[in-house]
Amino acid sequence: MNYETPQFFRVMQYAAAADRDVIDMVSGNPDWEAPAGIAEGLHEYADLGGTDYQYPPSEGLAELRKETAARRNVEPESVIVTNGAGEANHLALAAALDRDAGSEVLLTDPVYPYYPGKTRLLGGVPRSVPVDNDGRLDPAAVRERANSDTAAIVVNTPNNPTGAVYPEETMTELVAIAEDCGAVLVSDEVYDHFDFSGDFSSALGVDSAHRVVTNSFSKSMAITGFRVGYGIFPPALRDAARTRHMLANVTGTRPAQYAVLEALRSTDREYYAANRDRLEKRVATFTDALDDSGAEYTTPDGAFYVMARFAGFPGTMANAERLIDEAGVAGMPGETFGETREDWFRFALVTPDVTDAARRLAEFFE
């Protein structure tokens, strides 16, 4: 398999080389500060003086797994600490495909492009289930496509790129579909702290041997560079996931896990609420300006992305480069996320320059 630079990096590299100032609305790197407990945990770890600088347990620090399990109302044995949610999703897909229960993986369209990429890497066959105009997934459409060759159903809620939040009835039905066809539901819930609707429901709400939940502290604590995530696996899939994790990574980084544990214990709800409120205000500011440009757009119920479509200006890489050169705004072309949103762009609202970016887009398209 030949390596191809991901489009995310291609757009960011193009923006970095531009002859003008460019507002980055490509990456999902939060622009706010991490909770104080992160720095405190790192200082505390450094002060141990080297007495605890060796390998942690492969499945993660016991206290971090215990703390995570208590918050998710699961047993610590079900938690594997991973190299971000990316590895957790990789382990979940690998475990689903390694069961000799089929090779097909059902994905939404639009979709975060790493899911189909991981599917192909692991020898699976991605198949798409389109969502509606608001990004909502109809379980009936999933059931219609699910069959005996379906190894996994992958969903992301709150969703990147649409901002849709799947309610309890959707998650319950998706687990039931996975059970009926012998598949594994992989629910990536990395944006769970950014639910504006109050409708978010974790797949953990359904007790099933056919569901895996993945998550990360990258977005919720603004520490994407720490690479601390986790997967919650049912008993039948745990050993396979642990083995693959051990053989690929041996283990995760001890100081990052130590700091995350301290931050989990010391961070109050106000930290998460303040960041959620910040994003809601940015969504309103950005979409108000999109109204001025005559664009069609999604209003997210969660996460921090807005998709927009501008008449006569499809979401191609060439047009993404035009926005950088002529408007000074870097967004992701819709073709990155599948076929149904090829005419759209995705903008990440994790920048303090949202107001200026929206003004630039409105002026460009007026």
Q: Tell me the per-residue pLDDT of 55-110, one tens digit each, with 9 for 90 and over.
A: 999 999 999 999 999 999 999 999 999 999 999 999 999 999 999 999 999 999 99
Q: Tell me the per-residue pLDDT of 201-232, one tens digit each, with 9 for 90 and over.
A: 999 999 999 999 999 999 999 999 999 999 99
pLDDT of 366:
81
Q: Count the helices and strands in the chain (H runs, E runs).
A: 12, 13
Q: What's the mean per-residue pLDDT of the chain?
A: 95
Tell me whether residue 132 is in a domain: yes
Domain boundary among 212, 238, 266: 266
Considering the domain architecture, whether residues 202 and 83 belong to the same structural domain is answered as yes
Question: Residue 292 pLDDT > 90, yes or no?
Answer: no
Tell me whether residue 2 is in a domain: no
Tell me whether residue 325 is in a domain: yes
Considering the domain architecture, whether residues 262 and 288 belong to the same structural domain is answered as no
Considering the domain architecture, whether residues 242 and 307 belong to the same structural domain is answered as no
Domain boundary among 242, 266, 290: 266
Tell me whether residue 218 is in a domain: yes
Q: Tell me the per-residue pLDDT of 319-340, one tens digit each, with 9 for 90 and over.
A: 999 999 999 999 999 999 999 9
Which CATH number goes with the domain that contains 197? 3.40.640.10
Q: What is the C-alpha to C-alpha distance for residues 79 and 215, in angstroms, rounded to an integer?
A: 11
Average pLDDT over residues 162-180: 97
Q: How many domains does the chain have?
A: 2
Average pLDDT over residues 236-247: 97
Q: Is residue 188 within 8 Å of 155, Cβ to Cβ?
A: yes
Considering the domain architecture, whether residues 246 and 294 belong to the same structural domain is answered as no
Considering the domain architecture, whether residues 151 and 94 belong to the same structural domain is answered as yes
**Over the Cα atoms of the chain, what is R_g?**
20
Domain of residue 23 covers 7-34+270-365
Q: Tell me the per-residue pLDDT of 181-195, one tens digit each, with 9 for 90 and over.
A: 999 999 999 999 999
Considering the domain architecture, whether residues 140 and 210 belong to the same structural domain is answered as yes
Tell me whether residue 186 is in a domain: yes
CA dihedral 173, 178, 179, 184 (to 10 degrees): -130
pTM score, whole prediction? 0.95
Considering the domain architecture, whether residues 106 and 149 belong to the same structural domain is answered as yes
Considering the domain architecture, whether residues 90 and 132 belong to the same structural domain is answered as yes
Considering the domain architecture, whether residues 300 and 247 belong to the same structural domain is answered as no
Query: What is the phi-psi region of residue 60: left when phi exceeds 0, alpha when psi lies from -120 to 50, beta otherwise?
Result: left
Considering the domain architecture, whether residues 93 and 141 belong to the same structural domain is answered as yes
Considering the domain architecture, whether residues 161 and 138 belong to the same structural domain is answered as yes
* Contacts for 144 with CB less than 8 Å, ≥ 6 apart: none
Bridge partners, residue 344, by sequence: 309
Considering the domain architecture, whether residues 174 and 105 belong to the same structural domain is answered as yes
For 97, 121, 209, 213, the CA distances from 124, given in Å and listed in that order, are: 7, 7, 21, 20
Tell me whether residue 349 is in a domain: yes
Tell me whether residue 1 is in a domain: no
Which CATH number goes with the domain that contains 290? 3.90.1150.10
Q: What is the C-alpha to C-alpha distance for residues 85 and 294, in angstroms, rounded to an integer?
A: 36
Domain boundary among 205, 233, 266: 266
Tell me whether residue 177 is in a domain: yes
Q: Token digits for 107? A: 């994905």
Q: Name which of 2-11, 17-26, 92-101, 301-310 the model is least confident about.
A: 2-11
